[in-house]
Amino acid sequence: GPKVLQIPSHQIIDMGQMVTLNCDPVSNHLYFYWYKQILGQQMEFLVNFYNGKVMEKSKLFKDQFSVERPDGSYFTLKIQPTALEDSAVYFCASSRPGNTLYFGEGSRLIVV
Amino acid sequence: GEQVEQRPPHLSVREGDSAVIICTYTDPNSYYFFWYKQEPGAGLQLLMKVFSSTEINEGQGFTVLLNKKDKQLSLNLTAAHPGDSAVYFCAVRLRGGNYKPTFGKGTSLVVHP
């Protein structure tokens, strides 16, 4: 099926530093999403993005978080500064309008 | 907003047995329904997408039932095998491009040989 690629697959970072998680969505998809998963449990919605704008964000999408997709390149999630509680696996997904979300393999972030 | 309750959180069965996972949702306008499978260390793999118009959906080795009256979606694995061991998530979304899916909390299925 359609593939969403995420880079990096793993990252360890010092608390307070900045991290950027990159997502290469499916080529003809227009909607992009980030989800957060802790300990293999619930998929927690963070944000969705369409036409260069955030459509909806959850309470988990703190002020330290930002997303962008400059010039149709990677869809990125930036956390600045990072906190210990940001340690999780972050999943990117993309979809066409009203259609199935396809997920990447996740970026495992460890904040120490 | 939409609430999705998924049960059981953990399920252990023997190879060859059936396994049933149920999700109950709240919004009667829910239109798309999904089951995803997540193997350890991996992303979510789409098992099946179901439209609100179809009550019985057959996959390879499983059936997805949609009961709109009771607002329930179920995944029925027939003759489970160890390769089915994974975490399964249901997801529900409204019609329209702006709506994000709401996920259940997941069911960890273990199939013993």
B37-89: pLDDT as tens digits = 999 888 899 999 988 777 888 888 899 999 999 999 999 999 999 999 999 99
Res A21 pLDDT > 90: yes
Q: Which two tokens stand for residue A63?
A: 């002020």
Q: Which two tokens stand for residue B15?
A: 């190879």
Picking from A105, A101, A109, the residue whose alpha carbon sits closest to that of residue A49 is A101
Whole-number pLDDT of residue B97: 64
- CA separation for the pair A99, A35 (Å, rounded): 17
Whole-number pLDDT of residue A92: 97
Neighbouring CB atoms inside 10 A of B28's CB total 9
Res A96 pLDDT > 90: no
- CA separation for the pair A54, A76 (Å, rounded): 12
How confident is the prediction for chain B on average, in pLDDT?
A: 91
Question: Distance of CA A48 to CAs A106, A107, B34, Å?
Answer: 16, 17, 18
In three-state secondary structure terms, B18 is: coil
- CA separation for the pair B41, B38 (Å, rounded): 8
- pLDDT band per the 50, 70, 90 thresholds, residue A24: very high
> What is the nearest CA distance from B36 to chain A, expressed in angstroms?
10
**Residues on chain B touching A106 (C-beta within 8 angstroms):** 42-43
Q: Which two tokens stand for residue B48?
A: 């099946």
Backbone angles phi, psi at B88, to 5 degrees: -110, 135
> What is the nearest CA distance from B78 to chain A, expressed in angstroms?
24
What number of C-beta contacts closer than 8 Å exist between A and B? 56
CB-facing half-sphere around the CA of B90: CA atoms within 13 A? 29
Nearest to B105 among A41, A55, A97 (CB): A41
Residues 64-103 of B with CB under 8 A from A: 87, 89, 91, 95-103
Whole-number pLDDT of residue A41: 82
Q: Which two tokens stand for residue B98?
A: 């702006």
A46-72: pLDDT as tens digits = 999 999 999 999 999 999 999 999 887
**Residues on chain B touching A4 (C-beta within 8 angstroms):** 43
**Residues on chain A touching B105 (C-beta within 8 angstroms):** 41-42
Q: Do B37 and B44 meet the contact criterion of CB atoms below 8 Å apart?
A: yes
In three-state secondary structure terms, B6 is: strand
Query: Which amino acid, one-letter code, is at A80?
Result: Q
Backbone angles phi, psi at B24, to 5 degrees: -115, 130
- CA separation for the pair A99, A96 (Å, rounded): 5
B90-109: pLDDT as tens digits = 999 988 766 788 999 999 99
Of A10-14, A39-43, B76-80, least confident by mean pLDDT is A39-43
Whole-number pLDDT of residue A73: 86
